[in-house]
Amino acid sequence: MANIAKKVSWSGRGDDRGERTPLLNGDEEVKYNRQLSGGGIFHIGRLSTVDLEEEITPEEDIVRSRPKEIPHNEKLLSLKFESLDYDNSENQLFLEEERRMSHMGFRCLEIRRWVICGLIGFLTGLIACMIDIAVEKLAGYKYFAVKLNIEKYTELGGLSISLILWAVLNSAFVMFGAIAVAFVEPIAAGSGIPQIKCFLNGVKIPRVVRLKTLVIKVFGVICSVAGGLAVGKEGPMIHSGAVVAAGVSQGRSTSLKKDFKIFEYFRRDTEKRDFVSAGAAAGVSAAFGAPVGGVLFSLEEGASFWNQMLTWRIIVQYNLYEIPLFIIMGALGGVLGALFNIINYWLTIFRIRYIHRPCLQVMEAMLVAAVTATVSFAMIYFSNDCQPLGQDNTEEYPLQLFCADGEYNSMATAFFNTPERSVRSLFHNPPGTYNPVTLGVFTLAYFFLAVWTYGLTVSAGVFIPSLLIGAAWGRLFGILLSFIASSQSIWADPGKYALIGAAAQLGGIVRMTLSLTVILVEATGNVTYGFPIMLVLMTAKIVGDYFIEGLYDIHIKLQSVPFLHWDAPPTSHWLTAREVMSSPVTCLNRVEKVGRIVDVLSNTSTIHNGFPVVAHTSENDEPGIICGLILRSQLIVLLKHKVFVERASSRLSQRKLQLKDFRDAYPRFPPIQSIHVSQDERECMMDLTEFMNPTPYTVPQETSLPRVFKLFRALGLRHLVVVDNENRVVGLVTRKDLARYHVGKDGLEELHLAQT
Amino acid sequence: MANIAKKVSWSGRGDDRGERTPLLNGDEEVKYNRQLSGGGIFHIGRLSTVDLEEEITPEEDIVRSRPKEIPHNEKLLSLKFESLDYDNSENQLFLEEERRMSHMGFRCLEIRRWVICGLIGFLTGLIACMIDIAVEKLAGYKYFAVKLNIEKYTELGGLSISLILWAVLNSAFVMFGAIAVAFVEPIAAGSGIPQIKCFLNGVKIPRVVRLKTLVIKVFGVICSVAGGLAVGKEGPMIHSGAVVAAGVSQGRSTSLKKDFKIFEYFRRDTEKRDFVSAGAAAGVSAAFGAPVGGVLFSLEEGASFWNQMLTWRIIVQYNLYEIPLFIIMGALGGVLGALFNIINYWLTIFRIRYIHRPCLQVMEAMLVAAVTATVSFAMIYFSNDCQPLGQDNTEEYPLQLFCADGEYNSMATAFFNTPERSVRSLFHNPPGTYNPVTLGVFTLAYFFLAVWTYGLTVSAGVFIPSLLIGAAWGRLFGILLSFIASSQSIWADPGKYALIGAAAQLGGIVRMTLSLTVILVEATGNVTYGFPIMLVLMTAKIVGDYFIEGLYDIHIKLQSVPFLHWDAPPTSHWLTAREVMSSPVTCLNRVEKVGRIVDVLSNTSTIHNGFPVVAHTSENDEPGIICGLILRSQLIVLLKHKVFVERASSRLSQRKLQLKDFRDAYPRFPPIQSIHVSQDERECMMDLTEFMNPTPYTVPQETSLPRVFKLFRALGLRHLVVVDNENRVVGLVTRKDLARYHVGKDGLEELHLAQT
């Protein structure tokens, strides 16, 4: 966020610095921020606990002083989120270091990268195992206790006691998880995939890759899955992998104040991003046992450079049997997924408005846990679908209830179990295991439970519930087909339709395509369904996109994150850099007075993070010729080490400032307020030449928006300087300037910027 | 190639325009060019048949007048190859068109893209089927005839007649194929994958996506596979897919002089590249039945934006049983692959030097065909490995020879068959089908046959032969293991080791990784071997890379193609744009005299394809301020339509020049010589404002090479203007300027530029 002196609406274009805050009014901001933490999957943080160690995010100060109310926040773009810088600042220090490094040195770096990746894989696998084992154990104890209780009371009567026991156990587990998330680390709520998606896209989501987040996430997901919620543990595992990667690759933990002094070379955004995407892949790999799918996942969700549409266009070339059926199922998945997303969207809006206090959030989570238990119990109780106990006894906890001896209640297979086991039994159980009514009722009940659950303040994923819903109606679809078709043998395998249905439902909700195909193929170990799964995912995506976006994108949008999509909106050739850029820009001179630098950095009304360095003084308001770009964080480090021209003579005794000094401060640079500069020092001069990036990317004013967008996105920039034809700085383009434009119902729309 | 006034060596840096041709001497150029067509897999074209319709590649003229001899051509970089432009020229015409287009218009375009992709898939599938059926039929007749003959003479004696029959049949098939390739379209030789790789990388390989190439390729591959050579048909299928894509997406065939007047919007390099990569994917999909693998293939080989190393680092996180064995096999594959590549490298050098005439090439191909038949025959003849005929009779052509009744010769399974069937039988036949000696001898013989065959003037791929070699030694490895291991049951399945060996050998030769994993998994339909295959491919890649590059890269390098790898060489931070760029640059004025333009375009000593347009006249040698970039092709169209300022009044009656006029000329723009400009017209002026790209990407002189490289590669540029800090043009960076630097044994090396 280089320049918040930004026009707020399309019409107010000129010098509208004063118009910046029309959306801010009243004193509801703290409440609003609470709402955010409570509602969506994003929990950026409560303002009461602003961390002073955090790199300065001065909007928070502004927010504190100027509260606001934002009625339709998906039409806004938040100014709260900083951008990550995936473009190296190639200043003299950096170039000197690179040039000193031998060919062997680069080899060693490469080896170190592999070592880090190995560590990431190992630790992620360990964490995933831990989660798995803990969930299995806890759920085992719970189901065992409830089963004993049910068996006891089935004959005695008084099954309501069993219900209460079950509901209380569930609520208790969920309570612990929800408390940890709501009170300790709100960002650990939800699946974590949208946050990782944003991180890889280049948006800095505060605290998303911290150790504390990891601990709470792991604890939270164990509690919520063991608590019987309609959730999965895959999303949290992926998030865990990303956190592990961010930690390991930096060779230190800022939270634990422990620096291992290794991997210092990797302390910058570019390297960190690469490792985080590897960590996410390791997470998928651990969660689904799908390494290739993992790689594709992090490509599809992360890498800037991969155009999904192109990929999908490539794949439509194949021909097979049963295609119409699969297309129908895909469309059904798309419609149901869209329905899921729409309901969840309204629910999230409701949560943002009304359920914003942590204790309310914990109570809602407990309520959902109790309702889940009750609904499940009622389903089991009223269902009279008795099935003979198989020889192989695939059921973990077969409930006899009112069934005859040697039989078990088949509804209980679906409900009296962790969702993962339920999916497996829907895929693999032989034909005749479930009757259609059971499946229909189950689909309906679980659908609404899952919608309600997603967005609770617990760490939880949406993969497995989606698969479960889809598997249920898919199996139902298969059974109905076999009634209709004359030849039983063709439609003999309802498990196949369960798989296809699961894919359709998941695709309809999250709208991922290629990576999901490979994940599902790898997870089921069955490559022959590769094509149908692809087809179904694509149909579900197309149909679903017609109604509403994917679940993750909805939640990203509700948070007003400046997310950059693959391409600029197609109809945006009308706009040029001149109209898109922020201006005027605060520039610094190559040799600048310390006092001015401190003033510029301290100015809370125009908080910039990057400053073009110009050759000539711009006293007389004429823009200077660009000769570099320097970041706020670099200036802070320079001020902290008092690198002033006047001290150069005494500095001869001192050691010269090294790249290491910048790396040590990465990524949590101190705020300017914490640096003391005396009145004498204010009169000193600072020479920025050595530290600025001497060759920032620039574009002329006439460049069209798609062209600016392409450059920005392909190179992962944070600041793009706009110059006139004599290389004088006239503006600066940042992520928000580009993310503001999107295609709405009636063509190109512009989002409002707000200090959300 | 914007500026061939280029320093040739590192030392001669200054104004060394005169030094450009030190490598050209003697009158051996035609011979050399012949050698190229004959030897490698690349057959760029014989000078005697230069196509005047071709976009002017003026080096050919130069070559014609100034012959040369190039002793170590892998240390050279050819100036012959033009670059493709994956950056749109956003001139006024383009912007106007884009701005006129409604939101609906963009939707229609998107739908059209899908339609094209569907067509590409359909046609590629059709062609693949055709090849398959033709090969099966022809090979069927051949083996049937030879089998009858062998059966006849086995008892009579005189098997040498059978041998002669077989050898003659093989040679005849191969002769037809080789003649077509050598005399009609040399670029159709080989697998076509290196060419497609170059195309997607942004290098323009002449005639690679022409209809004629497709016809010869299809015909050639049918002949060479039916002729019993140690080749596969997969590479040619991939190439065919790419040609189909390039043709269909343009909505016309220049060769057939047929313009369907559809898809005109897609007539530019960017769109064409996207479709060609889709076509290559369709080819993989058709060749292996592996659609996901196909997508990955075109990503791994094509898309600029995908860093392989990162991907591979991601994947190493998994843990399984038998890992050491797989690693050993992978390493073995790497070593054998490197051996294959080294031998083939020397062979290719030999061919470039001595086998350059088409008739020699045809004769070599026929010789190889005859030798293949002879070796096979000898193997079968001297092998006494008789196996009982199975009940299911999996053998297509079981040869009894000297075996007892009810038995067949197992060596014949491997040799008396198309390579594809042989691979399948090595994977799937039950333990005990082959004896170790048979396999060993077969591996050895086939290895050398395949090495010899690759690079012949026939269209042929290397996938299947590699798989076959690997499958043979893999199965051997499995059998030997079962002798060593005490417990037979663990090592019971030699087919598994055949698969792993095949992967190792293929990986060792071509060094692809992720896409090969998925292709092999999809092709074998067995997902459980996914991890071992990955592991083995990676080991093979690492071990092989230690010795020599992959086969495709070797052949690309031998052709001196300016291929850009993923990253700039790591130790290249020393270099800046100033040192890398070509200078001085020929600039044009915004309003320029027609005579000067014609002179500039006609100048055969400095053949530029892109010209910076500057604001001020640079008469007094002071560089002008950049205000745009115009391409040779655009100037040619302007000259052809006589768009002169003086005609503006009369032009009011005429229609204005449209983007359509440029598209109609794409991609074969006429040479400047074919445009007549009278002496009067030479005095006219041309206003370039409307047609130039007003916002070309620029970098300052101090930009480091890695930074220039990243910009160039990520955006797929053809010209990058280097400016000083007042935006005056000081140089131009093109593909060759970047491709020249590579990491050799002793650090950074610079390749020589030559008019090869």
CA angle B65, B604, B6 (to 5 degrees): 95
| Cβ pair A304, A201 in contact under 8 A | yes
| Cβ pair B659, B94 in contact under 8 A | yes
| Cβ pair B748, B739 in contact under 8 A | no
- A-chain CB neighbours of B528 within 8 Å are 525
Q: What is the pLDDT of residue B386?
A: 75
Averaged pLDDT score across all residues of chain B: 76
A355: enclosing H helix or E strand: none
| Cβ pair B24, B340 in contact under 8 A | no
- A-chain CB neighbours of B114 within 8 Å are 313, 316
Q: Report how far residue B547's alpha carbon sits from residue B134's, in angstroms, rounded to the nearest whole number.
A: 39
Whether residue A291 and residue B531 make contact (CB cut-off 8 A), yes or no, is: yes
Q: Give yes or no for A126 touching B (CB within 8 A).
A: no
Whether residue B95 and residue A704 make contact (CB cut-off 8 A), yes or no, is: yes
| Cβ pair B280, B290 in contact under 8 A | no
Q: What are phi and psi of A491, to 5 degrees?
A: -100, 25
CB atoms within 10 A of CB A28: 15
Q: What are phi and psi of B613, to 5 degrees?
A: -100, 130
Confidence of residue B621 (pLDDT cuts 50, 70, 90): low
Nearest Cβ partner of B314 from A117, A574, A703? A117
CA angle A706, A711, A712 (to 5 degrees): 95
B688-727 residues touching A, CB cutoff 8 A = 694-695, 697-700, 702-704, 707, 710-711, 714-715, 723, 725-727
Q: How far is A241 from chain B (nearest CA, A)?
A: 11
Residues 6+ apart with CB under 8 A from B56: B632, B669, B670, B671, B672
Give percent of chain B with pLDDT exceeding 90. Answer: 8
Instruction: State the average pLDDT over residues B221-233.
Output: 86
Q: Where are the alpha helices (DSSP H) in A180-268?
A: 193-201, 211-226, 234-250
| Cβ pair A6, A15 in contact under 8 A | no
Which site among A97, A266, A314, A730 would you substitute to test the B interface, given the most B Cβ atoms closer than 10 Å to its Cβ? A314
C-alpha distance from residue B318 to each of A84, A488, A558, B653 (Å): 30, 42, 37, 72
- A-chain CB neighbours of B124 within 8 Å are 317
Q: DSSP 3-state assignment of B744?
A: strand
- B-chain CB neighbours of A110 within 8 Å are 309
B500-519 residues touching A, CB cutoff 8 A = 514, 517-518
Residue numbers of chain A with a pLDDT score lower than 50: 1-72, 303-316, 318-319, 488-489, 618, 653
Whether residue A571 and residue B626 make contact (CB cut-off 8 A), yes or no, is: no
Q: Which residue of A has its CA nearest to B528?
A: A525
Instruction: State the average pLDDT over residues B88-103.
Output: 75
Q: Report how far residue A303's alpha carbon sits from residue A322's, in angstroms, rounded to the nearest whole number.
A: 35
Instruction: State the average pLDDT over residues B546-560.
Output: 84
Q: Give yes or no for B573 touching A (CB within 8 A).
A: yes
Omega before residue B430 within 30° of 0, cis: no
Whether residue A98 and residue B294 make contact (CB cut-off 8 A), yes or no, is: no
Confidence check: pLDDT of B574 > 60:
yes
Q: Give yes or no for B11 touching A (CB within 8 A).
A: no
Q: Give yes or no for B652 touching A (CB within 8 A).
A: no
Confidence check: pLDDT of B295 > 70:
no
Nearest Cβ partner of A298 from B286, B314, B743? B314
ipTM of the complex: 0.71
Q: What is the pLDDT of residue A298?
A: 62
- B-chain CB neighbours of A302 within 8 Å are none
Q: What is the pLDDT of residue A327?
A: 84
Confidence of residue B219 (pLDDT cuts 50, 70, 90): very high
Q: What is the pLDDT of residue B319?
A: 39
Q: Give yes or no for B113 touching A (CB within 8 A).
A: yes
- B-chain CB neighbours of A534 within 8 Å are 291-292
Residues 6+ apart with CB under 8 A from B3: B582, B583, B585, B586, B606, B608, B732, B734
Whether residue B291 and residue A573 make contact (CB cut-off 8 A), yes or no, is: no
pLDDT tens digits for range B632-642: 888 998 888 88
Q: What are phi and psi of B252, to 5 degrees?
A: -165, 165
Q: How far is B311 from chain A (nearest CA, A)?
A: 7
- A-chain CB neighbours of B522 within 8 Å are 527, 530
Give percent of chain B with pLDDT exceeding 70. Answer: 79
Nearest Cβ partner of B711 from A514, A715, A723? A715
Which site among B248, B272, B292 would you substitute to test the A interface, given the most A Cβ atoms closer than 10 Å to its Cβ? B292
Nearest Cβ partner of B117 from A291, A316, A574? A316
Q: What is the pLDDT of residue A469?
A: 92
Greater model confidence, B316 or A84: A84
- A-chain CB neighbours of B699 within 8 Å are 695, 697
What domains are defined for chain B? 17-80+572-633+679-754 (3.10.580.10), 106-305 (1.10.3080.10), 324-382+414-558 (1.10.3080.10)
Which site among A93, A123, A129, A292 would you substitute to test the B interface, given the most B Cβ atoms closer than 10 Å to its Cβ? A292
Q: Give yes or no for A600 touching B (CB within 8 A).
A: no
Q: Where are the alpha helices (DSSP H) in B157-233?
A: 159-179, 193-201, 211-226
Which site among A102, A275, A317 would you substitute to test the B interface, given the most B Cβ atoms closer than 10 Å to its Cβ? A317
- A-chain CB neighbours of B711 within 8 Å are 697, 715
How far is Cα of residue A257 from the mean position of the Cα atoms in its chain? 26
Q: Give yes or no for B302 touching A (CB within 8 A).
A: no
Q: What are phi and psi of A699, to 5 degrees?
A: -135, 150
| Cβ pair B744, B56 in contact under 8 A | no
Instruction: State the average pLDDT over residues B336-348.
Output: 91
Q: What is the pLDDT of residue B496?
A: 82
Q: Give yes or no for B435 touching A (CB within 8 A).
A: no
Q: How far apart are the first and last CA of chain B?
A: 13
- A-chain CB neighbours of B103 within 8 Å are 570-571, 743, 747
Q: What is the pLDDT of residue A65?
A: 37
Q: Report how far residue B544's alpha carbon sits from residue B74's, in angstroms, rounded to the nearest whole number.
A: 19
Q: Which residue of A has its CA nearest to B723?
A: A727
> How many A×B Cβ pairs under 8 Å?
210
Q: Which residue of B has its CA nearest to A304?
A: B305
Q: What is the pLDDT of residue A357?
A: 85
Q: How far is A330 from chain B (nearest CA, A)?
A: 18
B628: enclosing H helix or E strand: strand B626-631
Whether residue A527 and residue B527 make contact (CB cut-off 8 A), yes or no, is: yes
Residues 6+ apart with CB under 8 A from A609: A1, A2, A82, A631, A632, A633, A718, A719
Q: How far is B30 from chain A (nearest CA, A)?
A: 40
Confidence of residue B87 (pLDDT cuts 50, 70, 90): confident
Q: Give yes or no for B124 touching A (CB within 8 A).
A: yes
Q: Give yes or no for A281 touching B (CB within 8 A).
A: yes
A312-341 residues touching B, CB cutoff 8 A = 313-319
Q: Give yes or no for B537 touching A (CB within 8 A).
A: no
Nearest Cβ partner of B117 from A277, A313, A698? A313
